[in-house]
Structure 1
Amino acid sequence: MDTDRPTIYQHPLAYLVGLEGVALLRAFAGEHDRSFVEARLADVRALLDAADRFGPGHEVPPITTRDGYRHWAPRYDGPNGFWGMEEPLVRPLMEHLPRGVAVDAACGTGRHTEWLVEQGHDVLGVDSSPDMLEIARAKVPGARFTEGDLHELPVDDASADLVLVTLALCHVRDLGPVFAELARVLRPGGRLVVSDTRGYFTGSPLYPLVEGADGEFGYIPNWFHATSEYLQAALPVGLAPRFCREYVGGGADHADGGADGGAGGGREYTAAPDAGTGAFDPAADVELEDPARPPTLWELMPWVPAAAGAAYAGTPSLVVWDFEKERGSGR
Structure 2
Amino acid sequence: MNPAGPPSDGWAESAGAWIADMGEEGDFGRRFVLDEPMLRLATAAAPATALDVGCGEGRFCRMLRANGIATVGVDPTEALIDRARARDPAGDYRLGRGEALDLPDAGFDLVVSYLSLIDMPDVAAAIAEMARVLRPGGTLLIANLNGFNTAGQTLGWMQDLSGNSHFGMDHYLDERADWIEWRGIRVQNWHRPLGRYMELLLGAGLTLTHFSEPAPTGGDARRVKRYRRAPWFLVMAWTRPGV
Shorter-chain TM range is 0.7 to 0.9
- Amino acid in the other structure paired with 1:190: G
For structure 1, the 5+ residue unaligned runs are 6-61, 251-266, 273-308
Is this contact kept in 1: 2:211–2:237, CA < 8 A?
A: yes
Alpha-carbon distance, 1:115 to partner = 1.2
Q: 2:27 aligns with which of 62, 69, 80?
A: 80
Aligned counterparts of 1:75 and 1:204: Cα–Cα separation in 2:
33
Any residues of structure 2 matched to 1:54-203 within 5 Å, and which? Answer: 63-78=8-23, 80-84=27-31, 85-198=33-146, 199=150, 200=153, 201=155, 202-203=169-170
Residue by residue, what CA displacement relative to the aligned partner does 1:248-281 show, whole Å, maximum 9, x if unpaired? 569xxxxxxxxxxxxxxxx996599xxxxxxxxx
Alpha-carbon distance, 1:243 to partner = 0.5
* Residue number in structure 1 paired with 2:179: 208
Aligned counterparts of 1:178 and 1:191: Cα–Cα separation in 2:
15
Count of aligned residue pairs for this structure pair: 211
Alpha-carbon distance, 1:123 to partner = 1.1
Q: 1:316 aligns with which of 226, 231, 236?
A: 231
Residue 196 of structure 2 is aligned to residue 229 of structure 1: yes
Is this contact kept in 2: 1:81–1:268, CA < 8 A?
A: no
Q: 1:268 to 1:153 in 2, by over 3 A?
A: farther
Is this contact kept in 1: 2:11–2:187, CA < 8 A?
A: no
- Amino acid in the other structure paired with 2:242: R
Is this contact kept in 2: 1:176–1:232, CA < 8 A?
A: no
Is this contact kept in 2: 1:157–1:184, CA < 8 A?
A: yes
TM-score by length of 2: 0.75
Is this contact kept in 2: 1:69–1:129, CA < 8 A?
A: no
Q: 1:325 aligns with which of 237, 240, 243?
A: 240
RMSD of aligned residue pairs (Cα, Å): 3.0
Aligned counterparts of 2:90 and 2:111: Cα–Cα separation in 1:
17
Aligned counterparts of 2:141 and 2:13: Cα–Cα separation in 1:
25
Residue by residue, what CA displacement relative to the aligned partner does 1:91-131 show, whole Å, maximum 9, x if unpaired? 11112223312111111111110111111111111111111
Between the two structures, name the one with larger relative contact order (CA 8 Å, sep ≥ 6): 1
Alpha-carbon distance, 1:238 to partner = 1.4
Alpha-carbon distance, 1:133 to partner = 1.1
* Residue number in structure 1 paired with 2:165: none
Is this contact kept in 1: 2:47–2:110, CA < 8 A?
A: no
Aligned counterparts of 1:168 and 1:121: Cα–Cα separation in 2:
20
Is this contact kept in 2: 1:249–1:314, CA < 8 A?
A: no
Is this contact kept in 1: 2:181–2:187, CA < 8 A?
A: yes
Is this contact kept in 2: 1:125–1:144, CA < 8 A?
A: yes
Alpha-carbon distance, 1:177 to partner = 1.5
Is this contact kept in 1: 2:100–2:125, CA < 8 A?
A: no
Is this contact kept in 1: 2:112–2:142, CA < 8 A?
A: yes
Alpha-carbon distance, 1:181 to partner = 0.7
Identity of aligned residues (%): 23
Q: 1:131 to 1:237 in 2, by over 3 A?
A: same
Aligned counterparts of 2:181 and 2:206: Cα–Cα separation in 1:
33
Alpha-carbon distance, 1:67 to partner = 2.2
Aligned counterparts of 1:317 and 1:87: Cα–Cα separation in 2:
14
Is this contact kept in 1: 2:34–2:214, CA < 8 A?
A: no
Structure with max Cα Rg? 1
